[in-house]
């Protein structure tokens, strides 16, 4: 009996490790491909790249749910689709677009570090707008995050104001999406695949016309000037397919790991993305910049740990007003292109 239990534990650990590795693989690949599209292919059209990702994710979610029936469809009332799903899709769309815009102008390492600012913006927004109070340990855990972001920004050798602002407002959009999900999607237990199934078509509809009007002529010029446009388009559409695979991998990793493991793995994933991007693009990183990135990731890990420990307190234990839980809600974990998401379609 003990031997069977030991084998099961070993298998569970192996499955968790496999889930984390494939999640890392898809996430880092999508980020690197998006940066490659903007920098190496000279396809400087973030709205169109985001639109391609939304289309691929819409098709992928339909295949998984409707054709392959790998996931049961969560039925949503038609009225709720417009009253609840559509507003979420709008914020979701803004979040993805801002992530891609930031990738066009700043290095992956800097963008990923700024995205780690999301816990701080979530807490501050809930405190300012929704008058929600937090345990002092939550506020204390935000200090290294804010300090690390400041140090990284000051010492960034490839700093771009527009890219920095896009990444920062992307954090605000991610926080807004997370907060709205708790109220707008109340009563629906969405996983990452069903979330994409409902939101990606809305996001495509929202973004399609602006992408065509703002970037259509530029894409035609790019197509005529590029030496091998068809192979470049294959890479762009492949990034969309991988973006959907990332959403599927998030569903798998959530169900194979604990909250604490997911939090730590998420922060290590940022470090892996930063390292891989530096190896490929060779963007200059100063020692103090690397220190700032490290401080930010440690702060994010500490924040996740504190949030988890406070949420695990027994009901009878005296406690401060309710603190935000470690991000385990599936609606909080749907990067279509850029997770967080951690995000990415």
Model pLDDT for residues 274-333, shown as the tens digit of each residue:
889 889 998 888 899 999 999 998 988 888 888 888 877 745 444 444 444 444 443 333
Segment holding 41, helix H or strand E: none
Give the per-residue pLDDT at 12: 75
Taking only the tens place, the pLDDT of each residue in 186-221 is: 777 778 788 889 999 999 999 999 999 999 999 999
Tell me the C-alpha distance between 134 and 124, whole Å: 10
Give the per-residue pLDDT at 1: 53
SS3 of residue 192 by DSSP:
helix
Asked whether the CA dihedral 264, 183, 53, 49 is positive or negative, the reply is: negative
Query: What's the mean pLDDT in 181-185?
Result: 74
Query: What's the mean pLDDT in 118-144?
Result: 88
Confidence (pTM): 0.82
Query: What's the mean pLDDT in 160-179?
Result: 91
Give the per-residue pLDDT at 232: 95
Contacts of 328 (CB under 8 A, 6+ apart): 254, 259, 262
Token pair belonging to 186 = 């109340």
**pLDDT-derived band at 259, boundaries 50, 70, 90:** low
Query: What's the mean pLDDT in 4-19?
Result: 76
pLDDT at 342 over 60: no
SS3 of residue 344 by DSSP:
strand
Place of tokens 């819409």: 58
Tell me the C-alpha distance between 60 and 251, whole Å: 14
**pLDDT-derived band at 240, boundaries 50, 70, 90:** very high
Of residues 171, 186, 200, 182, the one with CA closest to residue 89: 200
Distances (CA, A) of 161 to 101, 165, 167, 200: 12, 6, 10, 29
Tell me the C-alpha distance between 23 and 270, whole Å: 12
CB burial readout 290-316, b (16+ within 10 A) else e: bebbbbbbebbbbbbbbbbebeeeeee
Q: What is the CA radius of gyration of the chain?
A: 20
Place of tokens 């920098």: 39
Measure the N-to-C terminal CA separation of the chain; round to a whole number of Å.
Answer: 44
Place of tokens 């988890």: 308
Place of tokens 């068809």: 230
**pLDDT-derived band at 255, boundaries 50, 70, 90:** confident
């Amino acid at each position: 009996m003990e031997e069977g239990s030991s084998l099961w534990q070993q298998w569970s650990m192996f499955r968790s490790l496999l889930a984390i590795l494939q999640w890392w693989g898809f996430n880092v690949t999508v980020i690197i491909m998006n940066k490659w599209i903007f920098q190496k292919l000279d396809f400087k059209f973030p709205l169109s790249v985001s639109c391609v990702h939304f289309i691929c994710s819409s098709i992928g979610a339909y295949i998984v749910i409707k054709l392959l029936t790998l996931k049961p469809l969560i039925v949503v009332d038609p009225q709720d689709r417009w009253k609840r799903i559509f507003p979420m899709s709008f914020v979701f769309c803004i979040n993805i677009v801002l992530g891609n815009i930031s990738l066009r102008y700043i290095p992956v390492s800097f963008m990923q570090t700024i995205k780690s600012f999301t816990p701080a913006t979530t807490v501050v927004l809930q405190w300012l707008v929704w008058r929600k109070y937090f345990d002092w340990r939550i506020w204390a855990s935000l200090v290294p995050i804010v300090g690390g972001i400041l140090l990284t920004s000051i010492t960034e050798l490839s700093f771009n104001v527009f890219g920095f602002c896009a990444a920062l407002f992307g954090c605000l959009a991610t926080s807004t999406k997370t907060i709205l999900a708790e109220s707008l999607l109340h009563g629906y237990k969405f996983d990452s695949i069903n979330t994409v199934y409902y939101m990606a078509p809305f996001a495509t509809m929202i973004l399609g016309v602006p992408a065509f009007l703002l970037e259509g002529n530029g894409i035609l010029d790019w197509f005529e000037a590029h030496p091998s446009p068809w192979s470049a388009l294959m890479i762009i559409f492949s990034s969309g397919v991988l973006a959907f695979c990332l959403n599927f991998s998030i569903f798998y990793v959530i169900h194979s790991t604990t909250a604490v493991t997911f939090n730590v793995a998420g922060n290590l994933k940022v470090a892996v993305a930063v390292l891989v991007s530096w190896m490929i693009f060779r963007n200059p990183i100063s020692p103090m910049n690397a220190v700032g990135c490290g401080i930010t990731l440690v702060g994010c890990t500490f924040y996740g740990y504190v949030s988890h420990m406070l949420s695990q307190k027994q009901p009878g234990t005296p406690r401060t007003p309710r603190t935000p839980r470690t991000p385990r809600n599936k609606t909080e974990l749907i990067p279509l292109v850029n997770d967080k998401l951690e995000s990415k379609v």
